[in-house]
Structure 1
């Protein structure tokens, strides 16, 4: 006897509940908040409530609160009971420490890859390096931040260690949040972004040529500049 409409037979798979939309909204809000952190729109030291941010983004407070809780886990904000979330204030020392840790992870990996990855494989990353140059030219820190991390992820992905790539990317994202000066949030200027992007092309040239000492020097300078 055929099953009645709406009734599942043993051979049918139940239709999953539509939970993707909420996760998608939360992800979109998280991306928007991360962008606001990079640009300084969410200012260090300021407290933001989930309902107010939800109204700003045109969503309920729930996905905003969930996204902010994720940012709290990442160290970008801290919970302020009964008020919301305060954007963490960072100083030059923290940025320098992040640069040091990133160098400890990425320099040995890049040197190892320089010895083993063929030149043609490195050349395939040239469009990503060029994309960082175009992004830097816009002067938009958020646009550059995304292209910068995309390039670094692509380089590190060649090592085949997904956990390392994830850890390095998390550190990289944290390093992109603006500092707090005595008067206002401070981020890297337009000229800094352009110089930073130019180093990507130089790094690729050194990797293609297998110039290990040049790679070591460029990566060290790259992180030192990011911490400056």
Structure 2
């Protein structure tokens, strides 16, 4: 279950127990915390201690503290001595600028995939697109943001430009999608999630105009429908 927006502990752990190296678990915790921050479940200006976040997400304090230090290096939180971590505020102007850059990059790159993307590689993204819809239907904002990120970066990776993927990934980390909670309450998030499947279908059909229409509408939602 996702953490609640008012800061109350969730009813159960968000993060699964992972095997393998400690670093893998630390990265998994960082991904979940980053998604919670992007989704607006960790509020800008608020100070969160590692023990409080650990209880909220159903994990121990050590990987949370390590993960928050990673987010501090990314500029997403600031360290507050003897207290914890303060979520960095992002202005409306900055959010508009991030979205403008995404439009400049993602629309032409995605349209270009009509001619170049391997259908097998595109189809491999369908389970991720379906996971977005499932998370939306469940109102799980953290899972939604995580799956949405995997889908978009995975799609852009098909263009073969690693630096481009890094740029967009950084923009997405810095974004804030405060309107997602309201979309869930209005029953609109699932419809927005379906756009990922619509985009895949258009790419597989080699329909350039449909691809352009869907990706333009979808990115536009970041600062219109999602931000309301």
TM over 0.5: yes
**1:115 match:** 115
**1:189 match:** 183
How much does 1:146 deviate?
Answer: 1.4
The CA distance in 2 between the partners of 1:94 and 1:48, in whole Å, is 23
Map residues 74-93 of structure 1 onto 2, 5 A cutoff. 74-93=74-93
Conserved in 1, the CA contact under 8 Å of 2:39 and 2:177? yes
**2:60 match:** 58
Change (3 A) 1:178 1:129: closer
How much does 1:151 deviate?
Answer: 1.5
Q: SS at the partner of 1:196?
A: helix
RMSD: 2.9
Q: SS at the partner of 2:61?
A: coil
Q: For each residue in 1:71-101, what CA deviation from the matched residue of structure 2 results, as whole angstroms up to 9, or x when unmatched?
A: 1232321233554321122343332222211
Change (3 A) 1:50 1:132: closer
Map residues 1-228 of structure 1 onto 2, 5 A cutoff. 20-21=21-22, 23-50=23-50, 53=53, 57-60=59-62, 63-119=63-119, 121-175=121-175, 177-179=176-178, 187=181, 189-190=183-184, 191-228=187-224
Q: For each residue in 1:5-45, what CA deviation from the matched residue of structure 2 results, as whole angstroms up to 9, or x when unmatched?
A: xxxxxxxxxxxxxxx43x34533442342243245442221
The CA distance in 2 between the partners of 1:186 and 1:110, in whole Å, is 24
Runs of 4+ with deviation above 6 angstroms: none
Conserved in 1, the CA contact under 8 Å of 2:32 and 2:146? no
Change (3 A) 1:81 1:165: same
Give ranges in structure 1 of 5+ residues lacking alignment: 1-19, 180-184
The two structures have a TM-score, normalised by structure 2, of 0.73
**1:11 match:** none
Q: SS at the partner of 1:42?
A: coil
State how many pairs are aligned. 201
How much does 1:227 deviate?
Answer: 1.7
The CA distance in 2 between the partners of 1:55 and 1:140, in whole Å, is 18
How much does 1:149 deviate?
Answer: 1.4
Deviates more, 1:36-45 or 1:135-144: 36-45
How much does 1:225 deviate?
Answer: 0.4
Conserved in 2, the CA contact under 8 Å of 1:126 and 1:204? yes
Give ranges in structure 2 of 5+ residues lacking alignment: 1-20
The two structures have a TM-score, normalised by structure 1, of 0.73
